[in-house]
Structure 1
Amino acid sequence: MYDPPTTSIPLLTAANGKKSMRLAGQYGDGLVTDPLSWLQHKSEWREAARAAGKNPDQMPVLVEQYVVVGDRHAADQAAEFWRFGPRAFKTLYNVRSPTEIQQKADAGTPLPEVQKSWAIGTDPAVHIDKMRQLFDSGVSIVNVHSGQPDQARVIDFFAQRVLPAFKQPA
Structure 2
Amino acid sequence: MGLRLGYKASAEQFGPVDLLRYTVAAEENGFDSVFTSDHLQPWRHDGGHAPAALPWLGAAGARTERVILGTSVLTPTFRYHPGVVAQAFATLGVLYPGRIILGIGSGESLNEVPLGIEWPDGKERFARLKEAITLIKELWSGERVTFDGQFYRTQNATIYDRPDTPVPIYIGASGPAATRMAGRVGDGFITTSGKPETLYRDTLMPALAEGAVKAGRTLDDLDLMIEMKVSFDPDLDRAREDTRYWAALALSAEEKMGVEDPIEMQRLSDALPVERAQSRWIVSSDPDEHVEKIRTYLDLGFRHLVFHAPGPDQERFLKIYGEQVLPRLRALA
Normalising to structure 1: TM-score of the pair?
0.80
Structure 2: tracts of 5 or more residues without a match: 1-93, 95-159
* Residues 17-70 of structure 1: CA deviation (Å, up to 9, x unaligned): 233323333332211101235345222222122223332222001111111123
- Between 70-79 and 140-149, report the one with greater CA deviation: 70-79
Pair 1:93–1:31, CA change in 2 (3 A): farther
Pair 1:149–1:14, CA change in 2 (3 A): same
What amino acid does structure 1 have at the position aligned with 2:192? D
1:29 to 184, 187, 202: 187
1:96 to 249, 252, 260: 260
- Between 34-43 and 141-150, report the one with greater CA deviation: 34-43
Structure 2 residue aligned with 1:79: 243
Question: Structure 1 residue 128 and structure 2 residue 291: aligned?
Answer: yes
- Corresponding residue SS for 1:82: helix
Question: Structure 1 residue 38 and structure 2 residue 200: aligned?
Answer: yes
CA–CA distance in structure 2, aligned partners of residues 91 and 45 of structure 1: 28
Structure 2 residue aligned with 1:119: 282
Pair 1:74–1:19, CA change in 2 (3 A): farther
Contact persistence 2:231–2:243 (CA under 8 A):
no
Q: CA deviation at 1:86?
A: 3.7
Question: Structure 1 residue 143 and structure 2 residue 306: aligned?
Answer: yes
Question: Structure 1 residue 10 and structure 2 residue 168: aligned?
Answer: yes
What amino acid does structure 1 have at the position aligned with 2:292? D
- Between 146-155 and 14-23, report the one with greater CA deviation: 14-23
- Between 67-76 and 123-132, report the one with greater CA deviation: 67-76
Aligned length: 167
CA–CA distance in structure 1, aligned partners of residues 325 and 317 of structure 2: 10
Contact persistence 2:309–2:317 (CA under 8 A):
yes
What amino acid does structure 2 have at the position aligned with 1:157? I
Structure 2 residue aligned with 1:56: 219
- Corresponding residue SS for 1:95: coil
Normalising to structure 2: TM-score of the pair?
0.44
Pair 1:83–1:65, CA change in 2 (3 A): same
Q: In percent, how many aligned pairs have the same letter?
A: 29
Structure 1: tracts of 5 or more residues without a match: none
Pair 1:90–1:5, CA change in 2 (3 A): farther
Structure 1 residue aligned with 2:58: none
CA–CA distance in structure 1, aligned partners of residues 303 and 254 of structure 2: 26
